[in-house]
Every structure is written in C-alpha cells, then in structure tokens.
Amino acid sequence: MRADLAETIAVREEILGKLRGVLIERMRLRRAPAEIDADAPLFGAGFALDSLDAVELIVALDTLFGVVLEDNGLLRQQMRTLNTVVDLVLAYRRGHVGRR
C-alpha cells in the first residue's frame, strides 16, 4: 500500500473513532464502537438522533476538530452519516469548506 494512502486511511479512522466516541459518550448511544456503522443514517431510521443531538455533534466538531459550520442548506447533507461528517472534517482541514 502506498504511504499516502495508508496515511489517509489512518487519519479517516482516527476521526471516525473520535466521532463514534461522541455518539457513545455525549449522545449515550448504547453500542460498542465497532457496532456503529459509519454509513448508517445519523438521523431518522438509522441512529434516530434528534435536533438536540445535531447541536451536540456540531459543538463536538468545533471542540474536537476546530470545524465551525456555516448555517447553510448543505448542513443536513453533510451530517447524513458518520462518513459524510468525516468527509466534512477533512474538507475543512483542506480549506474546501468556508470558515468564519
């Protein structure tokens, strides 16, 4: 495996691990980290998170990763699954998401 690909995978896994921890600790999701499917919907039929959980996730993104989200129409799509949230964090780090 190429070194840059291995590093990208490691960074994604690190972010994903922290986000799984947020779901377990802050939102009291009663599952082991390995049981949390990164492609399952966060809201609705998936993990059934609600609007208060969304706010908690937004606060966690700021606290853990320095990601300050703009209130825009894409927010719901960007927070659809854990993988889309990981993509959001990575895009923010690369400067591809607007910063305040």
Q: Which amino acid is at 89?
A: V
pTM for the predicted model, two decimal places: 0.87
Give per-residue pLDDT as tens, 29-86: 899 999 999 999 999 888 999 989 999 999 999 999 999 887 766 777 889 999 999 9
Tell me whether residue 100 is in a domain: no
Residue 100 has pLDDT above 60, yes or no: no
Per-residue model confidence (pLDDT) at position 69: 83
Domain that holds residue 85: 3-94
Per-residue model confidence (pLDDT) at position 32: 94
CA distances from 98 to 10, 23, 28, 57, 90 (A): 25, 25, 30, 18, 13
Where does residue 83 rank: exposed (0-12), middle (13-18), buried (19+ CB within 10 A)?
Answer: middle
Tell me whether residue 99 is in a domain: no
Tell me whether residue 60 is in a domain: yes
Per-residue model confidence (pLDDT) at position 98: 55
Q: List the CATH number of the domain containing 43.
A: 1.10.1200.10
**What average pLDDT does this structure show over 18-26?**
95
Tell me whether residue 67 is in a domain: yes
User: How many structural domains are present in the chain?
Assistant: 1
Tell me whether residue 8 is in a domain: yes
